[in-house]
């Protein structure tokens, strides 16, 4: 297997110091810092007995890894879950002066999956609740990934849990005694199979409050593999009702490398991070000492479109506001190749069909194209050559095609990092993360068609917000 030398890392996307990561867990803003936990196997670069990795950040750009928060033992391993800062010490696990941070996780392994709590008074060292499990397994094999949220209307705590081919809801006043209140699905779902990593949060659109349910699905390799679907509707304090039925699944990210995205608690708007990889090839990524990365955080909004209510995403914080990231290059002459900084923010203002192509001296290139049929095409067929999937160079994982409904003019922002790119277009209605390993960084950019391109250099010490 070809490897990328040296063990290249993205600059502003989270990667583990060593070992494997998958789903983000327990995203929470706690005492002035963002905490990111993640499914983690520290001893090898493949999935193994699951630990919870722990990292903190002041700005969501620079991360510091802390000691592992939860490690498997004879009782089982630690599957995905969420965090809640119990500021009023409703659980009684901390004190009023020093309220606890609670982690809700699934204990899994050679046992029925059930929901448990670990808690901490310093946000670093965790101990187990002696009332565990707080939600017993009801006889469902796949019963996991608890997400805890607060309903401001009913003023109670709720937990949504993936339960086979649907989600189940539980309610609590003290975050420790939970009772079942209802379920959503599988009706209305267009993805048969097991549901994973649910999340539910309110969002306003045109003066009304809706609730958005995220659910991740493992899908067949032929259709591009795992993806995160969302439903828009209402939450009545007992369960979710989808009020905006769709003829086909609506995805949080139409790309191939964004799974199990969930939102932070303690942040007053939905701010999500996903696992920036894909179960179908995650283990064959060309890095040696670590495997897996997170997407850049995205703030979500709900917009009314001609297709119905849709999520729109903005990178948060906005990297294009970097003080030292002045526009270094403006290209308005089609057909010219320019030197490209990497990492960089690339803005494209297109009046119609265009192509922007990133390349290096190893005969590798990645392109984004707006076709005459108003389709955005992200093409990495020649971007990573035989690095990712040597056996199937032209398979389903090479190209992402996204149909646009708006006018042919299009404004896009591309966030290029050293192993991936994130594309935001049409006010965030299109938001796509794509892995992009190359033997050498892409350092050339070619513009063709009706587009003006501006590049901001993010190299050096540039990753500092205003």
Q: Does 79 bind ligand FRU (CB under 6 A)?
A: yes
Task: Output 197 or 345, the one with its CB closest to ligand FRU.
Answer: 197
Nearest CA among 141, 147, 67 for reference residue 105:
147
* Smallest distance from ligand FRU to CB 79, Å: 3
Residue 23 annotated among the catalytic residues of the structure = yes
Give the footprint of ligand FRU on residues 367-396 (CB under 6 A): none
Q: Does 50 bind ligand FRU (CB under 6 A)?
A: yes
Among residues 144, 176, 298, 357, which is the contact residue for ligand FRU, using CB under 6 A? 144
Residue 224: CB atoms within 10 Å: 19
* Smallest distance from ligand FRU to CB 191, Å: 14
Q: Does 103 bind ligand FRU (CB under 6 A)?
A: no
Task: Output 79 or 230, the one with its CB closest to ligand FRU.
Answer: 79
Q: Does 199 bind ligand FRU (CB under 6 A)?
A: no
Task: Output 214 or 376, the one with its CB closest to ligand FRU.
Answer: 214
* Smallest distance from ligand FRU to CB 106, Å: 6
* Smallest distance from ligand FRU to CB 219, Å: 12
# residues contacting ligand FRU (CB under 6 A): 12
Among residues 10, 69, 80, 402, which is the contact residue for ligand FRU, using CB under 6 A? 80
Q: Does 39 bind ligand FRU (CB under 6 A)?
A: yes
Q: Does 295 bind ligand FRU (CB under 6 A)?
A: no
* Smallest distance from ligand FRU to CB 133, Å: 15
Among residues 8, 10, 13, 23, which is the contact residue for ligand FRU, using CB under 6 A? 23
Residue nearest to ligand FRU (CB): 79
Task: Output 215 or 445, the one with its CB closest to ligand FRU.
Answer: 215
Tokens 């409904």 locate to 405
Q: Does 129 bind ligand FRU (CB under 6 A)?
A: no
User: Secondary structure of the chain in the HEC alphabet?
Assistant: CCCCCCCCCCCCCCCCCCEEEEEEEEEEEECCEEEEEEEEECCCCCCCCCEEEEEEECCCCCCEEEEEEECCECCEEEEEEEEEECCCCCCCCCCCCCCCEEEEEEEECCCCCEEEEEEECCCCCCEECCCCCCECCCCCCCEEEEEEEEECCCCEEEEEEEECCEEEEEEECCCCCCEEEEEECCCCCCCCCCEEEEEEEEEEECCEEEEEEEEEECCCHHHCCCEEEEEEEEECCCCEEECCCCCCCCECCCCCCCEEEEECECCCCCEEEEECCCCCCHHHCCCCCEECCECCCEEEEEEEECCEEEEEEEECCCHHHECCCCEEEEECCCCCEEECCCCEEEEEEEEEEEEEEEECCCCCEEEEEECCCCEEEEECCCCCCCCCCCCCCCCCCCEEEEECCCCCCEEEEEEECCCEEEEEEHHHCEEEEEECCCCCCCCEEEEEEEEEEEEEECCCCCCCEC
* Smallest distance from ligand FRU to CB 350, Å: 35
User: Which among 23, 145, 379, 417 is annotated as catalytic?
Assistant: 23
* Smallest distance from ligand FRU to CB 3, Å: 25
Give the footprint of ligand FRU on residues 260-289 (CB under 6 A): 260
Among residues 86, 129, 168, 196, which is the contact residue for ligand FRU, using CB under 6 A? 196
| Dihedral sign from CA coordinates of 255, 258, 262, 267 | negative
* Smallest distance from ligand FRU to CB 196, Å: 4
Task: Output 106 or 172, the one with its CB closest to ligand FRU.
Answer: 106
Determine how β-strand 290-291 pairs with β-strand 19-30. parallel
- CA atoms of 199 and 212, how far apart (whole Å): 8
Q: Does 22 bind ligand FRU (CB under 6 A)?
A: yes
Task: Output 82 or 367, the one with its CB closest to ligand FRU.
Answer: 82
Q: Does 229 bind ligand FRU (CB under 6 A)?
A: no
- CA atoms of 59 and 102, how far apart (whole Å): 22
Residues that bind ligand FRU (CB under 6 A): 22-23, 39, 50, 79-80, 106, 144-145, 196-197, 260
Residues recognised as catalytic? 23
């Amino acid at each position: 297997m070809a490897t990328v030398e040296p063990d290249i890392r993205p600059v502003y996307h989270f990667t583990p110091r060593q070992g494997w990561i998958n789903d983000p867990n327990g995203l929470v803003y706690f005492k002035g810092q963002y905490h990111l936990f993640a499914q983690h196997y520290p001893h090898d670069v493949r999935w193994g007995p699951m630990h919870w990795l722990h990292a903190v950040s002041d700005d969501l750009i620079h991360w510091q890894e802390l000691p592992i928060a939860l490690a498997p033992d004879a009782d089982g391993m630690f599957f995905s879950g969420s965090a809640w800062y119990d500021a009023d010490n409703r659980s009684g696990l901390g004190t009023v002066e020093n309220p606890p941070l609670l982690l809700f996780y699934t204990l899994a392994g050679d046992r029925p999956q059930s929901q448990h709590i670990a808690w901490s008074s310093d946000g670093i060292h965790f101990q187990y609740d002696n009332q565990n499990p707080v939600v017993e397994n009801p006889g469902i094999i796949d019963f996991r990934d608890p997400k805890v949220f607060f309903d401001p209307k009913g003023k109670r705590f709720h937990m949504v849990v993936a339960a086979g081919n649907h989600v189940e809801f539980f309610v609590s006043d003290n975050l420790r005694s939970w009772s079942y209140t209802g379920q959503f699905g599988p009706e209305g779902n267009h993805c048969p199979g097991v549901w994973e990593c649910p999340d539910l949060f309110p969002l306003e659109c045109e003066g009304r409050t809706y609730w958005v349910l995220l659910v991740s699905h493992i899908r067949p390799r032929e259709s591009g593999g795992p993806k995160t679907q969302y439903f828009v509707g209402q939450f009545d304090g007992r369960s979710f009702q989808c009020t905006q039925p769709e003829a086909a699944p609506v995805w949080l990210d139409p790309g191939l490398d964004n799974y199990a995205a969930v939102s932070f608690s303690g942040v007053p708007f939905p701010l999500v991070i996903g696992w920036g990889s894909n179960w179908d090839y995650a283990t064959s990524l060309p890095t040696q000492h670590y495997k897996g990365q997170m997407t850049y955080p995205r703030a979500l909004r709900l917009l009314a479109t001609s297709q119905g209510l849709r999520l729109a995403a903005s990178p948060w914080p906005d990297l294009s506001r970097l003080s030292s990231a002045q526009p270094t290059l403006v290209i308005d002459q089609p057909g010219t190749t320019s030197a490209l900084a990497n990492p960089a923010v690339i803005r494209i203002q297109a009046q119609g069909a265009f192509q922007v192509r990133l390349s290096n001296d190893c005969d590798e290139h990645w392109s984004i194209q707006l076709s005459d049929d108003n389709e955005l095409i992200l093409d990495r067929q020649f971007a990573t050559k035989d690095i990712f999937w040597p056996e199937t160079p032209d398979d389903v994982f090479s190209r992402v095609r996204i149909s646009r409904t708006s006018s042919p003019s299009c404004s896009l922002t591309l966030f290029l990092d050293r192993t991936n790119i994130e594309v935001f277009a049409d006010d965030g209605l299109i938001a796509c993360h794509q892995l992009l390993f190359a033997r050498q960084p892409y350092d050339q950019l070619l513009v063709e068609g009706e587009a003006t391109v501006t590049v901001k250099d993010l190299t050096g010490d540039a990753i500092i917000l205003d």
